[in-house]
Amino acid sequence: MDLEKHTKETPHLQEQIQHLESYIEVLKFESEKHECASPVEGSSEDRRVTQLERTVFILKRVVEKLQVENKRLVSGKTPISQRASSADKLKRDYARLKEQHAESLQKIQDLQTQINKKRVEAKTGMMSQRDQSEQFRIQLEQVKNELEKKSHLLDKVKALLHGAAAKEKLLLKEFRCTLDLQKKYGKSRVFNTPLCEQGIAGFGIGAAAAGSTAIAEIQFADYIFPAFDQLVNEAAKYRYRSGDQFDCGKLTIRAPCGAVGHGGLYHSQSPEAYFAHTPGLKVVIPRGPIKAKGLLLSCIRDPDPCLVFEPKALYRAAVEEVPVADYQLPLGKADILKEGKDITMIGWGTQVHVLTETAEILEKEYKISCEVIDLVSILPWDQDTVCRSVCKTGRVLVAHEAPLTSGFGAEIAATIQDHCFLNLEAPVARVTGPDTPFPHVFEPFYLPTKWRCIETALKLMDY
């Protein structure tokens, strides 16, 4: 029997079918819209979509039942009593599904509101990130411009070596201070050597004795000991044993020294005290780029063999505005970096920066005025400047990374006791590394930090 011919006989069922089919289409559309629009994946949203799909499935089943029931009603195969009960059941199903549909639509609206809110937040966050990125870029340009006006210690040493290579011989090693020198000046003037420290020093001595200006680099100061005999017994005594007929004064040895944060026992030592016991050598330790340039030029042009120990922790940490013109700084002359009246603090290399920070804290927190001296030159060293300062303050603190026993601080303490004994208000204090090999993981406990220096300074004041 044709269903369309008997539509008027079952208007309520046909109306229900149309409404249900419309609801199905709406639910499908809302579900697809939700799936395409939602940028957020989460368990709550997934459950909502699943509920919508279940509702669509139920509606499809009900439509199928309605269609079957309509056919039965039209065909007249269903009894009148069952027709009435079926109609009531369908009305109840229709009302229940209509209510579920309304709830589903409300969930979709809530979900869409959340999605729009998150989109606005994401857009605002992106704009904020863009603003921060632009601000960071401007700050980066400012820092870059400032750095272009300044020089790192490493850059200054490299520039000086380029100048020296244009005239004399260089023996190359680590830390890229001599990067590209060989390409620029040739293998006859700049060359690498085998890892043989006594050979490096011996070759430099021979080149200097023959009239060349030789600048040799030991890879790490820790490895200078195989060359100890060449430096102490040959280079230092060359002029003396020949009655001033020969010398190797044009020899300069460069060696990175000191702690760097992860060097351990073979890449962290400070061996300056070993060579300070040797007449005929000169030993300097710069604290930054300005000192590095002036001291290195002075050592290259000095008539005696010189050792330049360069604190490797300062290669990229120390930044200063370095004069472009050629200049030399005197060997054996200390610098007073900060004047004071209560305590004299003496250090060299990296330790100068530690003592400067220590002095600032003591003055701010404890009202203690500290005079900070950079010794600069270990051999010869400036006894006059140190003793004048000690006579003024009456208290002394010497700090160095090398071990306590026979460190160069012991020589300073002995000299102060000899010349300034009656002016001392307390014994000379030393803050140093302990008498152990240089550790790896325990390096922070080994080094003479500002906190150890502050503790010692307070004890000096309370003595």
User: Which candidate, 363, 411, 360, 357, places its Cα nearest to that of 386?
Assistant: 411
Domain-by-domain residue ranges, the chain? 4-146, 152-320, 335-462
Asked whether the CA dihedral 184, 185, 186, 190 is positive or negative, the reply is: negative
- DSSP code string of 34-78: HHHH-----HHHHHHHHHHHHHHHHHHHHHHHHHHHHHHHHHT-S
How many Å apart are CA 67 and CA 228, to the nearest integer?
Answer: 106
- Decide if 152-320 and 335-462 have a common fold: yes
Average pLDDT, integer, range 417-421? 97
Q: What is the CA radius of gyration of the chain?
A: 43
233-262 per-position pLDDT tens digit: 999 999 999 999 999 999 999 999 999 888
Do 213 and 166 meet the contact criterion of CB atoms below 8 Å apart? no
Give the pLDDT confidence score for residue 162 in this predicted structure: 58
361-392 per-position pLDDT tens digit: 999 999 999 999 999 999 999 999 999 999 99
Give the pLDDT confidence score for residue 377 in this predicted structure: 97
Give the pLDDT confidence score for residue 58 in this predicted structure: 67
Give the pLDDT confidence score for residue 120 in this predicted structure: 74
By mean pLDDT, which of 153-162, 192-201, 203-212 is the weakest?
A: 153-162
By mean pLDDT, which of 138-142, 204-208, 243-247, 354-358 is the weakest?
A: 138-142
Using a 10 angstrom Cβ sphere, with 0-12 exposed, 13-18 middle and 19 or more buried, the burial of residue 167 is exposed
Say if pTM beats, i.e. exceeds, 0.85. Answer: no
Which one is predicted more confidently, 86 or 365?
A: 365
Give the pLDDT confidence score for residue 73 in this predicted structure: 61
At residue 131, φ and ψ (nearest 5 deg) are -65, -45
pLDDT band at 22 (very low <50, low <70, confident <90, very high): low
Q: How far is CA 154 from CA 214, 296, 309, 316, in A?
A: 20, 12, 13, 6
> Of 152, 267, 353, 400, which one is the catalytic site residue?
267
267 carries an active-site annotation: yes
Average pLDDT, integer, range 152-161? 58
By mean pLDDT, which of 43-57, 123-137, 294-308, 333-347 is the weakest?
A: 43-57
Give the pLDDT confidence score for residue 262 in this predicted structure: 86
User: Which candidate, 310, 287, 303, places its Cα nearest to that of 158?
Assistant: 310
Do 350 and 344 meet the contact criterion of CB atoms below 8 Å apart? no
């606005």: which residue's tokens? 120
Give the pLDDT confidence score for residue 315 in this predicted structure: 85
Q: Which CATH class is domain 152-320?
A: alpha beta
How many Å apart are CA 368 and CA 364, to the nearest integer?
Answer: 8
91-136 per-position pLDDT tens digit: 676 677 667 667 766 766 776 777 777 777 766 666 666 666 677 6
Q: Given strand 214-217, what is the order of strands in its sheet? A: 190-192, 169-172, 214-217, 251-257, 306-311, 282-284, 377-379
Using a 10 angstrom Cβ sphere, with 0-12 exposed, 13-18 middle and 19 or more buried, the burial of residue 307 is buried
Which one is predicted more confidently, 348 or 2?
A: 348
Percent of the chain with pLDDT over 90: 54
Give the pLDDT confidence score for residue 4 in this predicted structure: 45
* N-to-C CA span, the chain: 119
Q: Which token pair is 451?
A: 């906190």
DSSP reduced 3-state for 152: strand
Do 70 and 10 meet the contact criterion of CB atoms below 8 Å apart? yes
Q: Which CATH class is domain 335-462?
A: alpha beta
421-461 per-position pLDDT tens digit: 999 999 999 999 999 999 999 999 999 999 999 999 999 99
> Of 69, 197, 310, 411, which one is the catalytic site residue?
197
Which residues, 6 or more positions from 309, have their beta carbon under 8 angstroms from its beta carbon? 221, 255, 256, 257, 258, 270, 271, 272, 283, 284, 285, 349
State yes or no: pLDDT of 148 exceeds 70: no
Q: Which token pair is 319?
A: 């930044």
Q: Whats the size of the chain, residue-wise? A: 463
Do 400 and 367 meet the contact criterion of CB atoms below 8 Å apart? no
197 carries an active-site annotation: yes
pLDDT band at 160 (very low <50, low <70, confident <90, very high): low
């039965």: which residue's tokens? 72
State yes or no: pLDDT of 15 exceeds 50: yes
Average pLDDT, integer, range 297-305? 95
Do 416 and 424 meet the contact criterion of CB atoms below 8 Å apart? yes
At residue 82, φ and ψ (nearest 5 deg) are -70, -35
Give the pLDDT confidence score for residue 40 in this predicted structure: 47
